[in-house]
Structure 1
Amino acid sequence: MAQGSKKAVLYAIFVNAIITVLKGLAALATHSAAMMNEAVHSLMDTLNQLFLLIGLNRGSRPADGEYAFGHGQKKYLWNLWSAIGLFSIGCGLGLAHAWHAYQNLTHLPRPDVIQIFGFGIHPIWISGLVLAIALVLEGYVLLVAGREFLSRMRAEGVRNPFRYLADADDPTLIAVLLEDSIAVTGVILAATGIGMTQLTGDPRWDISFSVLIALMLGVTAIFLGLVNMRYLTSIRDQDAERAFHDIVKDRREIERYHDLRSVIVDDRHTVVVAAIELREEVLTRNMRSRIQSHLAQLLERVPEHRRTENVVDYAETRAIIQATLEATELVIDFLEADLKQRCPQVSHLTIEIDGIAAPSKLDNPQLLDSEARGQ
């Protein structure tokens, strides 16, 4: 899961670094507010994806003496800093530049021809070429992230991409997908603003669309912040809890459960805790043979001349305890294996045996006698 996210992040860093330079140079040459905000946008994308990469590397570290469940939550923390910090800064810088451009609307010189290597080129062609390159490169990165997103969505049996976008357990991939989506949208907005300014001669079109680009960064910051905050606030794993309920419902050894709780540590670790009550009539089935087997194994380890009454009493007590523990461990092992098979993200299952359910067969001697013969 992390490898697919890391691939998308690395592609995005490389592409956005190139595009940032191209947009910045074009903005300086053409004095376009929309192009400058697009350069800021791409710069924030590049820095943000560097933060995502740091989060992926830090979050992939295994458990150690200080972090019992690994460092996975660091990924969400770096993503949160990235979303709230960098995108908010990008939004603020974009709005500030748009306001500055509006204030200097009549004083800002706009070149009619730009000299490059002795050739005179109209600014619209420079802007168009840079935006075309940006659209192709960012569209390719969006395609890489989109394929990874869709493959995971189909693997989890989800058909609605918008629902999966809100509920997906890997906010790093969501961040890259959203950034690439708004990057492509930003290019279209910048091209529209620059084109309208060229057609009408009114630079306010350019400034207006630069404001839209800045606001888009702000909305993205809020959404990504909310997505990552979900995983830093002890959110429950509803799928794991439903699976536990279904498993317990089909197990005859378990009468009931209560205090079922779960915590999502990260996208690879969920902790589930519950208390269960066992059924006496099922738990005691074949108990006599288990006790006899453990007793025989214990007595084999003691020479016959040392098998005093106290030794035999101790062996019988220990055999009863071992047989009981064995029966309960089998129930817990099955629960753990079945739950992890249905929900691979469950890394730890803690079960408290809350006792044996009230005996139902003591009130029915015939059933009790039948169960006893079955042992």
Structure 2
Amino acid sequence: MSANGGTKAIIAALLANVGIAITKFIAFLLTGSSSMLAESIHSVADSGNQGLLLLGGRRAKRAATPQHPFGYGRERYIYAFIVSIVLFSVGGLFALYEAYHKWSHKEGITEWHLVPVVVLVVAIVMETFSFRTAIRESNHVRGKQSWVHFVRRAKAPELPVVLLEDLGALVGLVFALFGVGMTLITGNGRWDAVGTAMIGVLLVVIAIVLAIETKSLLLGEGAEAHDVAAIEKAITEGPEVERIIHMKTLYLGPEELMVAAKIAVPACDSAEELARGINVVEDRVRAAVPIARVIYLEPDIYRGAVEQAGSGRGVHTAAAGPEAEPGEVAGRPGS
């Protein structure tokens, strides 16, 4: 649902931004307003960004290869990070440069006075439609999370990116309307420069937020606490596993989670019996958390507290294989 919803929100934003960019460029050519030029470049950058998100979603669907055995799911994060760079450079820095230039050449709007106002009002209506679509699609996957938590913790990058872009576009249009309106009222072109600078600062801030959040996804994030709890319960609720010695999770893509765990298993008569038990546990994990598609379970024999009494060690370890890593208490996830 998140992938389909993200695509729908991207397409809505793309259509809105292409139409808005054209009308803004026409208004700029007629009036020479720097706010209109900054907003035109902003809409062009946003249109390109939506194209990048669609391209990233398409490339992420490629099948795994020997060179990339876990597939290409995280490519969606790469394209989202590129979006933040484009928004920062093409949108934010250009607007700040244009504001500086307009401050030095403070001509007002001398003709076609109502054109920029009409264009901005129409753009606000179109951008509101796009923003409404992004909100509606995000609500399908947001649940009870706050909007800030959703943007910060969402594993699928498309919806948070479109949400922030559309919000920035709406606020930027209000800033542009302010600059143009004050310029028309006072005849002083520096108000236009002020509106343009406000747009530039806004875009730089949004780009930095996007870059920080996408960087975290690129580095690799583990499962949310509720998913970790569900996985732990699924592993230990049957007789096949005595306890979890340590466990790690990692998102291979927005909709694919890897689970790796060392588990303590009871003594069994054959390797076939052990393998059957592990298969049962894997099925339970996938039923509890469907996105847990890649699962590695390492069976071991757990050494109890009595055997540890003379060692002076406070953390239980396995009788064979590598010990639990520092900070990973038996029965708790290490991720």
Instruction: Give yes or no for TM over 0.5.
Output: yes
The equivalent of 1:290 in structure 2 is none
Is the Cα–Cα contact under 8 Å of residues 92 and 201 in structure 2 kept in the other structure? yes
Q: Structure 2, unaligned stretches of length 5 or more?
A: 307-335
Partner of 1:43: 44
Give 1:214-253 correspondences, 5 Å limit. 214-239=200-225, 240-253=227-240
**Does 38-47 or 55-64 show the bigger shift?**
55-64
**Mapping for residues 1-375 of structure 1, pairs under 5 Å:** 1-105=2-106, 108=107, 110-111=109-110, 113-114=111-112, 123=113, 125-154=114-143, 158-239=144-225, 240-280=227-267, 283=268, 324-355=270-301
Q: What is the CA distance between 1:109 and its match in structure 2?
A: 6.1
Distance in 2, matches of 1:341 and 1:248, equals 11
Label 1:267 to 1:210 Cα distance change in 2 as closer, same or farther (>3 A): same
SS at 1:254 equivalent: coil
Tell me the CA shift for residue 356 of structure 1: 5.8
Distance 2:127 2:115 in 1: 18
Letter in 1 for 2:201: L
Give 1:271 deviation, angstroms: 0.9
Please report the TM-score for the alignment, with normalisation by the length of structure 1: 0.76
> Relative to structure 2, which stretch is displaced further, 40-49 or 10-19?
10-19
Q: In structure 2, what is the Cα distance between the partners aligned to 1:109 and 1:251?
A: 75
Amino acid at match of 1:148: E
Given that 1:268 and 1:347 are in contact with CA atoms closer than 8 Å, whether structure 2 keeps it comes out as no
What is the distance in 1 between the residues matched to 2:168 and 2:87? 15
SS of the aligned residue for 1:262 comes to strand
Whole-angstrom CA distance in 1 between matches of 2:80 and 2:147: 21
Q: Distance in 2 between matches of 1:211 and 1:340?
A: 51
**Distance change in 2, residues 1:359/1:94 (3 Å):** closer
Task: Please report how far the alpha carbon of residue 51 of structure 1 lies from its aligned counterpart in structure 2 after TM superposition.
Answer: 1.1
- Give CA deviations for 1:160-216 in whole Å, capped at 9, x if unaligned: 222112111111111111111111111111112211222233332221111010111
Report the identity percentage. Answer: 28
Instruction: Tell me which moved more, 270-279 or 237-246.
Output: 237-246
Name the CA distance, whole Å, in 2 between partners of 1:192 and 1:56: 37
How far is 1:347 from its partner? 0.9
Given that 2:258 and 2:294 are in contact with CA atoms closer than 8 Å, whether structure 1 keeps it comes out as: yes
Q: Counterparts of 2:102 and 2:292 in 1: how far apart (Å)? A: 54
The 1:330–1:26 alpha-carbon spacing in structure 2 relative to 1, beyond 3 Å, is: same
SS in 1 for 2:28: helix
After superposition, the C-alpha distances for 1:228-280 in whole angstroms (9 at most, x for unaligned) are 11121122224443223223443344222223111111111111111111234
> In the aligned structure 2, how far is the partner of 1:10 from the partner of 1:248?
40
> TM-score, normalization: structure 2?
0.84
Cα distance in 1 between the residues matched to 2:74 and 2:148: 24
**Counterpart position of 1:300:** none
Which stretch shows the higher mean deviation, 159-168 or 61-70? 61-70
Rg larger in structure: 1
Q: What is the CA–CA distance in structure 2 between the aligned matches of 1:110 and 1:201, rounded to whole Å?
A: 7
What's the CA shift for 1:349? 0.9
Quote the offset at 1:358 in angstroms. Answer: 6.0
Pick which of 180-189 and 334-343 moved more: 334-343
- CA distance in 1 between counterparts of 2:108 and 2:133 reads 40
1:359 Cα deviation from its structure 2 partner: 12
